[in-house]
């Protein structure tokens, strides 16, 4: 079943439920909210432990400095970032009152000023900001899950899985700095509640502040990839997460917002003898001290340390020495090295292109939860409610896109018996490089329909035969069967056209 058909089926089930609960305004209102979610932008929550770098990652994904990164009252409140015509920040108090929040800068850092109010009295903050990155996706920045305040940590949990209501997010990007017990516990709770019996959907891990893994050495990001692979393997064994991508968020943000004056300063540093610069970069304080002989003034050096970090400065200087002659070239090099582009690709393939599927999944889980929490009286009504719940649970178990999503995540870390070439073909077929027919089949965008049909038929036969291979392990055989069903789905779409 494709995403559009799944969404239509969910709408139909919700309509049936609304008729059953016509005389229960509160439940009917919950069902209306559930239906409205299907037409909203995809909601992606950034979650993780305290100081994991969520706000910095949000800024780098958006490409603008719109989220406070300093430890103010606002970082203790769940904050929703949506596309808007003009920048506006509003807060909702616990008593339901709303008020405007001034946006200020303190020591060069963006912050939201709650005035005399404290985070304890604020339920949520809504940020409307003109950004192409927010047109199809609402990003939710959450307080640290390992905060010393259990009330602050609970806010993140209550947003993701509110009591008896709809999950606040359709997908989760979970930031890790180490794979500790609190992270495992929180991810386990997400898996139990958000995914329901069908398992977690739309959960991607990020090894954040990846440049710090190797103590800021030039090979830090290489070390981070190895660490991320180990994290992914461990999380896959427990079924908690689809993949783990290492990202240096600070480096990514600096690259996306690089200024010409910063490039000029980095170019000047590239002329400094390597040993002298290496000594200066032993610490941020040493690099920025006023009496340093470096050919860049102290204020600019402090700015570079704050925005790029010592690792970013080393990497930028090395890139300039190797041929980055202008700021766009250097920014592109740093952005690629930061890991942000890989994360954006994972988010696009697993979240963006499958937004309808993820929203349908959220709506189905929510629908079941609402109906089970509000039992009806009367045999006919009970039978009708049970019928809707059964149909919703059937869709959760049967929608093929959900199976593809889980398999895509597992293929990153679970060994298969397939040769590397065939593994790449399988990933492409199940939507690893895009969900359009030509993306899946590896054909030209405007290719001949007959050619696509022939490729789909061949793929369906090939992968169904492989699914019964006597020497393949269970996981590989199941992966081949999922690929066969994907090819058959493509063929059905081509025939329907």
- Per-residue pLDDT tens over the stretch 294-321: 999 999 999 999 999 999 999 999 999 9
- Segment 116-122 shows an average pLDDT of 82
Average pLDDT over residues 429-442: 88
DSSP code at position 41: P
The more confidently predicted of residues 136 and 164 is 136
pLDDT at 2 over 60: no
pLDDT at 219 over 80: no
Distance of alpha carbon 143 from alpha carbon 156, whole angstroms? 6
Residue 196 has pLDDT above 60, yes or no: no
- Phi, psi torsion values for 434, nearest 5 degrees: 135, 155
Averaged pLDDT of the chain? 85
pLDDT category of residue 211 using cuts at 50, 70 and 90: confident
Angle 239-43-24 (CA atoms, 0-180°, nearest 5)? 100
- Delimiting residues of CATH 3.40.50.300 domain(s) in the chain: 41-250+340-356
Mean pLDDT throughout 192-211?
68
**Burial level of 88, CB count in 10 A (0-12/13-18/19+)?**
middle
Q: Count Cβ neighbours within 10 Å for each residue of 3-37 and write b for 16 or more, e otherwise.
A: beebbebbeebbebbbebbeeeeebbebbeebbeb
- Per-residue pLDDT band for 192 (boundaries 50, 70, 90) equals low
Please give the pLDDT value at position 447. 74
pLDDT for 481: 94
pLDDT-derived band at 69 (thresholds 50, 70, 90) equals confident
- At 202, is the pLDDT very low, low, confident or very high (cuts 50, 70, 90)? confident
Sheet holding 244-246, edge to edge: 98-100, 88-93, 122-129, 79-83, 137-141, 42-48, 171-176, 203-207, 244-246
In this prediction, residue 117 carries a pLDDT of: 81
For residue 488, which phi and psi values (nearest 5 degrees)? -65, -35
pLDDT at 52 over 70: yes
Compare 66 and 145 and report the one with higher pLDDT: 66
Confidence of residue 191 (pLDDT cuts 50, 70, 90): low
For the cut 60, the answer to whether the pLDDT of residue 330 exceeds it is: yes
Other Cβ atoms closer than 10 A to 110:
17
pLDDT value at residue 156 = 82
Residue 257 confidence (pLDDT): 93
Q: What pLDDT score does 218 carry?
A: 67
400: Cα separation from own chain's centroid: 21
Q: With cut-offs at 50, 70 and 90, classify the pLDDT of residue 197.
A: very low
Alpha-helical segments (H) within 103-176: 150-160
Is the sign of the CA dihedral 42, 43, 47, 53 positive or negative? positive
In terms of pLDDT, which residue wins out, 468 or 74? 468
- What pLDDT is recorded for position 216? 57
Rounded Cα–Cα distance for residues 383 and 42 (Å):
33
C-alpha distances in Å from residue 77, one per residue of 144, 155, 263: 10, 8, 36
Positions of CATH 1.10.287 in the chain: 415-497
Residue 342 clears pLDDT 80, i.e. is over it: yes
Question: 415-497: which CATH number, 1.10.287, 2.60.120, 1.10.3470, 1.10.1060?
Answer: 1.10.287
Q: What is the average per-residue pLDDT within 124-140?
A: 93
pLDDT (mean) for 49-58:
87
Q: Does residue 463 have a pLDDT over 90? A: yes
Question: Tell me, which fold does domain 41-250+340-356 have in CATH?
Answer: Rossmann fold (3.40.50)
User: What's the rounded mean pLDDT across residues 429-437?
Assistant: 87
d(CA 9, CA 14): 9
């Amino acid at each position: 079943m494709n995403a559009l058909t799944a969404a239509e089926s969910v709408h139909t089930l919700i309509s049936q439920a609304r008729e059953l609960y016509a005389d229960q305004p509160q439940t009917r209102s919950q069902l209306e909210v559930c239906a409205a979610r299907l037409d909203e932008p995809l909601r992606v929550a950034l979650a993780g432990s305290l100081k994991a770098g969520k706000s910095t990652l949000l800024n780098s994904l958006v490409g603008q400095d719109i989220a406070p990164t300093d430890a103010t009252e606002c970082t203790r409140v769940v904050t929703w970032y949506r596309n808007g015509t003009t920048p506006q920040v509003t807060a909702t108090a616990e008593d339901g009152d709303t008020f405007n929040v001034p946006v200020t800068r303190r020591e060069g850092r963006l912050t939201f000023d709650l005035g005399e109010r404290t985070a304890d009295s604020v339920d949520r903050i809504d940020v409307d900001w003109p950004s192409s990155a927010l047109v199809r996706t609402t990003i939710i920045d959450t307080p640290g899950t390992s905060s010393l305040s259990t009330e602050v940590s609970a806010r993140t949990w209550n947003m993701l899985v509110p009591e008896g209501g709809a999950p606040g997010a359709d997908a989760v990007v979970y930031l890790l700095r180490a794979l500790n017990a609190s992270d495992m516990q929180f991810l386990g709770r997400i898996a139990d509640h958000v995914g329901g019996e069908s398992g977690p959907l739309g959960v991607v891990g990020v090894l954040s502040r990846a440049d710090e893994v190797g103590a800021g050495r030039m090979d830090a990001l290489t070390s981070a990839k190895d660490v991320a692979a180990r994290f992914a393997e461990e999380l896959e064994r427990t079924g908690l997460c689809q993949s783990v991508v290492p990202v240096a968020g600070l480096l990514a943000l600096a690259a996306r917002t690089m200024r010409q004056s910063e490039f000029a300063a980095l170019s000047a540093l590239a002329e400094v003898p390597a040993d002298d610069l290496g000594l200066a970069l032993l610490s941020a304080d040493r690099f920025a001290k006023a009496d340093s002989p470096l050919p860049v003034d102290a204020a600019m050096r402090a700015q570079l340390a704050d925005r790029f970090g010592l690792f970013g400065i080393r990497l930028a200087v090395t890139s300039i020495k190797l041929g980055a002659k202008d700021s766009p070239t250097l920014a592109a090099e740093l952005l690629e090295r930061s890991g942000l582009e890989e994360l954006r690709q994972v988010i696009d393939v697993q979240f963006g292109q499958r937004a309808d599927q993820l929203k349908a999944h959220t709506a189905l889980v929510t629908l079941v939860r609402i109906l089970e929490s509000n039992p009806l009286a009367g045999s006919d009504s009970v039978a009708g409610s049970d019928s809707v719940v059964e149909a919703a649970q059937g869709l959760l178990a049967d929608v093929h896109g959900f199976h593809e999503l889980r398999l895509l995540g597992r293929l990153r870390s679970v060994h298969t018996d397939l040769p590397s070439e065939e593994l790449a073909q399988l990933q492409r077929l199940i939507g690893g490089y895009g969900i359009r027919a030509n993306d899946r089949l590896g054909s030209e965008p405007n290719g001949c329909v007959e050619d696509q049909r022939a490729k789909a038929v061949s793929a369906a036969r090939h992968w169904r035969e492989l699914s019964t291979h006597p020497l393949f392990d269970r996981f590989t055989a199941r992966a081949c069967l999922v690929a066969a069903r994907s090819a058959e789905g493509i063929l059905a779409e081509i025939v329907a056209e």
